[in-house]
Every structure is written in structure tokens, then in C-alpha cells.
Amino acid sequence: MSYSVTDPSKRQKFIAGTLVILYALITMVPLVWIMMTSFKTPPDSISYPPKVFYQPSLEGYVNLFTTRTRVSAEKLASLPPPENFAEEIVRSRNMVIAGPSKFGGRFLNSVIIGFGSTFLSIFLGTLAAYAFSRFKIPLADDLLFFILSTRMMPPIAVAIPIFLMYRQLGLSDTHVGMILLYTAVNISLAVWLLKGFIDEIPREYEEAALIDGYTRFQAFYKVVLPQAATGIASTAIFCLIFAWNEYAFAVLLTSGTAQTAPPFIPTIIGVGGLDWPAIAAGATLFLLPVMIFTVLLRKHLLRGITFGAVRK
């Protein structure tokens, strides 16, 4: 067997692997439980002892997307046969579908506000970070500290002033208002993270582009941006996760048109008892976009694209 000083031994690898798998299992149990619950029927979801093996059902998802009314047995019998699986499930509970729920709209709000504020944070953050990284800005260090200082208290500490401001400006319960708010919270993170990434990109690339006949902006756009893709991707994930999951401001500032999914999902509880499968279905669907976004950008997170291009 070959022997290496730097490589871990088989036993070390085994122990490390076991620990990692154990940790992964522990962190994943709640997620898996939520996903499992979303496919249970309401009686299964509250049965004791908890059911690990059960007949899967889409009732949670149906309940999530619909509003329903209870009808009498005679009325139920007089209805034409159900047109789809959703109606079948609902009628088995002596109810009929009254219409769609608000979840679709709330989910769309989350998408618009989450991705909108992420885009804006990254757009402004990249420009600011580039300027801080490359140009001689008077008081640059103080400005950077000032930008960071916006994160030195929990954002919710300024909730009341923001609430009053937004009411005055007519930004309460609007998409623009929420996008601006989440951008304001995320921008300091974006500037600091991106400045670090842009500092790492050798200036020679831009200088080469300037010499090759491009303007400063073209050099930034065509040479720096592709180099910063890794940093931009990871910063975007952080920004999106914050904006996507934010709960407190969303509760405070939105109630209707711009309400996002996080404050909406718990309101399901109030509709006809504790409908855990519907809540779990909402939570499961809510997890998906961030998961997909992260998986799509994973390539950029892992690949050091400047590797080997410059000899250091």
C-alpha cells in the first residue's frame, strides 16, 4: 500500500466521512419530515405515534392551492362526478372547491421581490465594489465602513421608522417598496463580498483591454464581469436567501398585493383547523426556488475560473 504524509489514512477518512454523514442526517431530518408531511393526509399528519410509512396523498397540495366549502351529504350526492383528482380528494372530506387560494399570488410576489432585490443588490453592489476596488475615492475606507455599519444592528430595529416612512411615501404593501427595502439591507453585504472578489482580479486584465482599444466600461463589462462570475454567483445566493426568507418586514409592511409567501404560509393554520399537510406543502414549494437557484449556480461557486490564467 502506498504511504503518503499529506493524504489522510483510510481510518481517518472513514471517521471523517461518518461524522459528515451523521451531521447531514441530523440537519436534513426536519426538511425530510416537512416534505413527508406535505404528502400525508391531515389525520396521518397528527397521528400518534407519528407515521413514517403511510399512503401518500396530494391533499396537502390541493388544500394549499384551493379554498373549500363544506356541503351537505344530499348536495354532495347531487353533484356531477368529480372532474379531476383535486375535486375527488376534496369531496371525500364532504367539501367542494370554492376557488383558488391566494398562495399562487403570494408565491409569485416572493419570486418578484426576491429576485428583483437580488438583481438590484448585485447590480449596484458590483458597480460600487468595482469603484472601491479600482479608483482612488476620497475617504474610501470611511465610506466602506459606513456601508458596513448599516448591518451593525438587526434591520428589524428600524422597523417602526421604516413603517412610518413607507406609509408616508406610499410604498407600503408594494413590490417596489419591498424590493428597495431588501436591496438596502443586502447592499452592504454585496459591496463587501464583491469588493473582495474584484480585488482578487489582476488589474492587468483591464489594462490589457484598455490597450486593446476598449473603453473603461467595456473593459469592466467584458473582462472584469466574467472574471467576477464566481463572486457574483455566491453573493447573489446570499442576497436571494435573505430576501426570500425574510419574515418580519414582510409581516409588518405587506398584507395584500405585495405579501410574500413567508407571512402567508402560517395564515393557512387559521383556515379550518390545523392543516399541517397544507402548511408543509407550502413550505416544500417555498424551498424549491432557492434550491434550484443554488444548484444552477453551484458550478460557478466551485469553479475557480481564473485558475492558471495568471502565473503568480
Q: Least distance (Å) from other proteins to the CB of residue 227?
A: 7
Residue 205 as a binder of other proteins (CB under 8 A): the answer is yes
CB nearer to other proteins: pick between 75 and 222: 222
C-alpha cell at 184: 438596502
Number of residues binding to other proteins, judged by CB under 8 A: 24
Stretch near other proteins under the rule CB under 8 A, chosen from 55-63, 106-114, 152-160, 206-214: 206-214
Residue 109: name the closest of 296, 246, 277, 294 by CA.
Answer: 246
Q: What mask, x for binding other proteins by CB under 8 A, covers residues 253 to 292?
A: ----------------------------------------
Residue 171: name the closest of 87, 254, 106 by CA.
Answer: 254
Name the β-bridge partners of 70.
95
Residue 129: name the closest of 186, 223, 193, 203 by CA.
Answer: 193
Residue 252 as a binder of other proteins (CB under 8 A): the answer is no
**Distance, CA of 282 to CA of 34 (rounded, Å):** 10
Q: Judged by CB under 8 A, which of 79, 207, 221, 303 binds other proteins?
A: 207
C-alpha cell at 39: 404528502
Residue 202: name the closest of 235, 170, 230, 228 by CA.
Answer: 228
Name the β-bridge partners of 68.
97
Q: Least distance (Å) from other proteins to the CB of residue 211?
A: 4
C-alpha cell at 168: 408616508
Stretch near other proteins under the rule CB under 8 A, chosen from 86-94, 148-156, 204-212, 273-281: 204-212
What number of other Cβ atoms are within 10 A of residue 203's Cβ?
11
Q: Least distance (Å) from other proteins to the CB of residue 138?
A: 13
Residue 154 as a binder of other proteins (CB under 8 A): the answer is no
CB nearer to other proteins: pick between 164 and 309: 309
Which residues ranging from 214 to 243 are in contact with other proteins (CB under 8 A)? 214-215, 218, 223, 226-227
Residue 202 as a binder of other proteins (CB under 8 A): the answer is yes
Residue 64: name the closest of 288, 284, 290, 268 by CA.
Answer: 268
Q: Least distance (Å) from other proteins to the CB of residue 301?
A: 17
Q: Judged by CB under 8 A, which of 204, 221, 271, 296 binds other proteins?
A: 204
Residue 105 as a binder of other proteins (CB under 8 A): the answer is no
CB nearer to other proteins: pick between 176 and 211: 211
Residue 40: name the closest of 53, 26, 22, 29 by CA.
Answer: 53
What number of other Cβ atoms are within 10 A of residue 214's Cβ?
16
Name the β-bridge partners of 95.
70
Q: Least distance (Å) from other proteins to the CB of residue 222?
A: 8
Q: Which residues bind other proteins (CB under 8 A)?
A: 202, 204-205, 207-215, 218, 223, 226-227, 305-312
